[in-house]
Structure 1
């Protein structure tokens, strides 16, 4: 692994930690809003509800990230396949045009 690849891996890892921390914080805030609506909870019940809600929120976010990643990989493969196909067709057209120009030049030259 080169130094550049190591830096990229480190940056990706840091971004992942920051994203997870932000998601946990969003989950905590959403859990607190939900618990505020349920005024009859005891402190222990409130803490339990918030804990479970946050865990579920993070799991849903993680599931969404995995689906997004899988879809992005699928699209990348489809686009790469399409790009290779188009590039091959363009090369074939270019070679055909070159062959036609060469044949035309050879036929029109005085003998």
Structure 2
């Protein structure tokens, strides 16, 4: 299946995911810069050079913490996905076993009814 521009759908999804990733990263950078500016404004005794350095360091730390949080969340998502896949697999096996048991019970009933005639 292809999209309107004749690229495979999986390529289009990959492209969309990359764009979303870039937008999310830029949003995090802007958020870090804004938080750094807000923090540095409270330090009114700093010189302009000191304020710029504090803002730079704060923004770096904020962005590092954001990345760590994202990695933690992504790891947890993978864990939860694995747990749900395991549960789904077990449920599917139980349903299949129940279906086979029900089918064999019905076959046994049909055999009993036909042999009783």
Work out whether the TM-score is over 0.5: yes
Alignment of 1:48-63 (within 5 A): 48-63=53-68
Residue-by-residue CA offset, 1:58-90 (whole Å, 9 max, x unaligned):
111111111111110111111101101111011
1:5 aligned partner: 10
1:73 aligned partner: 78
1:101 aligned partner: 106
Work out the CA distance in 2 between the residues paired with 1:16 and 1:56.
20
Question: What SS class does the counterpart of residue 38 from structure 1 fall into?
Answer: coil
Work out the CA distance in 2 between the residues paired with 1:5 and 1:97.
41
Q: 1:86 aligns with which of 72, 75, 91?
A: 91
Unaligned ranges ≥5, structure 2: 1-6
- Where do 4+ consecutive residues of structure 1 move more than 2 Å? none
